[in-house]
Amino acid sequence: MIFDILTLFPEMFRSPLEESILGKAREEGKITINLFNIRDYAEGKHRVTDDYPYGGGKGMIMKPEPIMRGIEAILAGKPVARVILMTPQGDPLRQEVVRRLARHARLVIICGRYEGVDERVRAVVDEEISIGDYVLTGGELAALVVVDAVARMIPGVLGDEGASEDDSFSQGLLEYPQYTRPREFAGRTVPEVLLSGDHQAIEQWRREEALRRTWKRRPDLISRAGLSDEDQRILDKLKGSSGTD
């Protein structure tokens, strides 16, 4: 999969994209990430990429010409790509959005800055995405979140096929509790069912704990999780009991 990122600050991406899973995926050719500096597409001696807003107001607005030229250069001769604008005004980034984006062979991501981009840039944007209801200094960190979330859905990036299937949100629920050695730590022990070797009992425990955790921490997810009749029975039991964690 190819990620083309249009930004004023390409150096912000260097270290995160060279480390850990993303770095290895790039080395193995499972993903390709190209960084494009918006200033390279600006005109004039000073390569200006922003200007004052018409009508007045605080801050500066990113000019349309450099961004549009950058997109045209990126798409030249290879136009099949989904163009994304990172903006607090965009649709929330959820796991179902991540899965959908991962089905594309190529994503072009525009990183906004300052008070935003000239409205006319949106004419070439296929999708606007926000990573949360808060404002960052720019779209670079948000773009890294998108790259990381989408890349781990690409076959082979996580190593084992299906390794992401049990992650929080992948099945519509938060992930169940996880434990490793030592068996006892700070007076707390690993649940006996996980030591039993009974895979059916373990899977049942994990499903119940995922339902419990989601109901307690993110009840808003329950309504769209697509619960089975058995899930609903477990949930009803949890709601009817007291003293659950």
Number of Cβ within 10 Å of residue 41's Cβ equals: 20
Catalytic residue list: 88, 115, 152, 167
Per the DSSP assignment, residues forming a β-bridge with 83 are: 108
SS3 193: helix
Show the tokens assigned to 83.
């163009």
User: Quick one: which H or E segment has residue 109?
Assistant: strand 106-111
Nearest in space to 6 (alpha carbons), one of 60, 84, 79, 78: 84
Nearest in space to 93 (alpha carbons), one of 79, 107, 75: 107
Show the tokens assigned to 41.
């597409």
Q: Which residue has tokens 């490793």?
A: 180
